[in-house]
Amino acid sequence: MMKINVTVNDEQLEMEVGYDEFLVEALRRYGFNSVKRGCDTGCCGLCTIWINDQPTLSCSSLAVRANNQKITTIEGLQEEATDFAKVLVKEGAEQCGFCSPGFIMTILAMKRELKNPTEEEIIHYLTGNLCRCTGYLGQLRAVKKYMGVV
């Protein structure tokens, strides 16, 4: 075990992590339960967080590599997340909610990165975010509405 220092949602935190422990495990152990475990292969997007404001799959990132980094989970973006969640619900695209934190983290990162994206760019950005409940069309409608794409 080793100690790392991270900033999680703008708060300094010293974490004790294993040398081979993935960030998803450490974050959940420290109470950040919005970070979900899904596939453990980097394919589903459930574990998406931001490291230094970049979307990152925490199931394929070693916790030791997060030392001295800025980590953001959905708990640190409540206002933005709520704004998008309202659009998602209004479009009838919210289902069980298990994938929502990772999906929303990806959407919020996309909104910061892409200005006036095309539908194709949105679909490309969302590749790797899996949802077992929806057919994705409602989610795409909600994303386009949130992004201001008609």
| pLDDT by 10-residue block (mean), the chain, 150 residues | 97 98 97 92 92 96 98 97 94 84 95 94 90 82 91
Judge whether 37 and 30 are in contact, CB under 8 Å.
no
7 plus 48 within the same structural domain: yes
102 plus 131 within the same structural domain: yes
Cα–Cα separations (whole angstroms), residue 119 to 19, 62, 114, 129, 150: 41, 33, 12, 16, 9
Cα–Cα separations (whole angstroms), residue 14 to 11, 56, 64: 10, 20, 12
10 plus 47 within the same structural domain: yes
Q: Where are the beta strands (DSSP E) in the chain?
A: 2-8, 11-17, 48-51, 54-57, 70-72
Q: What is the pLDDT of residue 97?
A: 81
Q: Which of 30, 50, 74 delimits the end of a domain?
A: 74
* Cα–Cα–Cα angle for 63, 66, 69, rounded to 5 degrees: 160
Per-residue model confidence as pLDDT tens digits over 54-65: 999 999 999 999
Q: CATH number for the domain including 137? A: 1.10.150.120
| Domain extent for 125 | 76-147
41 plus 85 within the same structural domain: no
8 plus 37 within the same structural domain: yes
70 plus 85 within the same structural domain: no
Q: CATH number for the domain including 8? A: 3.10.20.30
Q: What is the pLDDT of residue 19?
A: 96
94 plus 133 within the same structural domain: yes
Give the separation between CA 15 and CA 144, rounded to whole angstroms.
38
Per-residue model confidence as pLDDT tens digits over 117-139: 999 999 999 988 888 777 788 89
Q: What is the pLDDT of residue 132?
A: 77
Torsion of CA 59, 49, 55, 21, to 10 degrees: -30
Count of the separate structural domains present in the chain: 2
55 plus 101 within the same structural domain: no
Q: What is the pLDDT of residue 130?
A: 84
Q: Which of 58, 74, 90 delimits the end of a domain?
A: 74
Give the separation between CA 52 and CA 86, rounded to whole angstroms.
26
Q: What is the pLDDT of residue 98?
A: 85
22 plus 65 within the same structural domain: yes
Give the separation between CA 139 and CA 41, rounded to whole angstroms.
23
